[in-house]
């Protein structure tokens, strides 16, 4: 089965410290991977995606993610967290063997950045 | 939230009523999608459409219906057959035809059954 796991329901970090939000995937073949962020009662905002090439992907708002094929992971990172980064983060995967543009989402990780 | 609008923002429904959620996009995207979001469950695909006058069921289509008469519009009807319709509903759109295409989301509609 194709799936995405976000093992942490919540991540707490102090402002100014580095943050990591974890994501692992299980799909057939090479996946396309995405990160989205959701603020309360809002839609999802696209942060970044991995298609091919460099394993380190840079995205919006200073976020980056590292694709690790051997560990089937795509962790989201930021060198210095801001209080305004507090939100719900979703990892998603698009398996290449599907006939349409389906995205499989993880259950989300809530990030809380304390002042 | 870009060029995707959803209305209304909040919707209350009585048991046994059908309700229709609106989704409009001005991004000139061919593909449109409806997702349902429940706490702790991530997003689940209800229906999607890759072209006008064509749509396909997603993972949880039972109790829902859609139409795609215009490229810009993809309304979702939540019927009385949907057993547990209270949820946050998200519409998305993307270019079609490319595996790398990103889906962009609207602001969502929160439906509550009274």
**What mean pLDDT comes out for the span B13-25?**
93
Q: For residue A94, list its beta bridge partners.
A: A32
Sorted by sequence, the CB contacts under 8 Å of residue A102 that are 6+ apart come out as A94, A95, B45, B48, B58
Token readout for A89 is: 């983060």
**What mean pLDDT comes out for the span A40-68?**
92
Span B53-95, pLDDT tens digits: 999 999 999 999 999 999 999 999 999 888 899 999 999 999 8
**Within the 20-39 window of chain B, which residues sit less than 8 Å (CB to CB) from chain A?**
31
d(CA B62, CA B71): 24
**Residues of chain A whose C-beta is under 8 A from some C-beta in B?**
9, 32, 34, 36, 41-46, 49, 51, 90, 94, 96, 100-103, 105-108
d(CA A66, CA B25): 32
Rg, Å, chain B Cα set: 13
Looking at every residue in chain A, the average pLDDT score rounds to: 91
B90 → closest Cβ in A44, A101, A107: A44
Amino acid A99: pLDDT: 59
Span B45-58, pLDDT tens digits: 999 999 999 999 99
When pLDDT is cut at 50, 70 and 90, the band that residue A103 belongs to is: confident
- DSSP code per residue over chain B: -TTEEEE-SEEEE-TT--EEEEEEE-S--SEEEEEEE-TTS-EEEEEEEEETTEEEE-TT-TTEEE--SBTTB--EEE-TT-S---EEEEEEEE-SS-TTPPPEE---EEEEE-
């Amino acid at each position: 089965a194709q799936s995405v796991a976000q093992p942490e329901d919540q991540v707490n970090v102090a402002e100014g410290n580095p943050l990591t939000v974890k994501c692992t995937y299980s799909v057939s073949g090479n996946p396309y991977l995405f990160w989205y962020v959701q603020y309360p009662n809002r839609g999802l905002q696209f942060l970044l995606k991995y298609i091919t090439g460099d394993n380190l992907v840079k995205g919006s708002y200073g976020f980056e993610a590292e694709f690790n094929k051997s560990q089937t992971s795509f962790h989201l990172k930021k060198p210095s967290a801001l209080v305004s980064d507090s939100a719900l983060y979703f990892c998603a995967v698009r398996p290449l063997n599907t006939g349409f543009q389906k995205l499989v989402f993880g259950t989300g990780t809530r990030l809380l950045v304390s002042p | 939230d870009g060029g995707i609008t959803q209305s209304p923002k909040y919707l209350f429904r009585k048991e046994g009523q059908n309700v229709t959620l609106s989704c409009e996009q001005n991004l000139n995207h061919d593909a449109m999608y409806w997702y349902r979001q429940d706490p702790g469950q991530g997003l689940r695909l209800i229906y999607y459409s890759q072209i006008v006058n064509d749509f396909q069921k997603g993972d949880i289509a039972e109790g829902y219906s859609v139409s795609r008469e215009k490229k810009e519009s993809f309304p979702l009807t939540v019927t009385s057959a949907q057993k547990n319709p209270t949820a946050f509903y998200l519409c998305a759109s993307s270019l079609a035809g490319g595996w790398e295409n990103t889906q962009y989301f609207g602001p969502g509609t929160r439906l509550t059954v009274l």
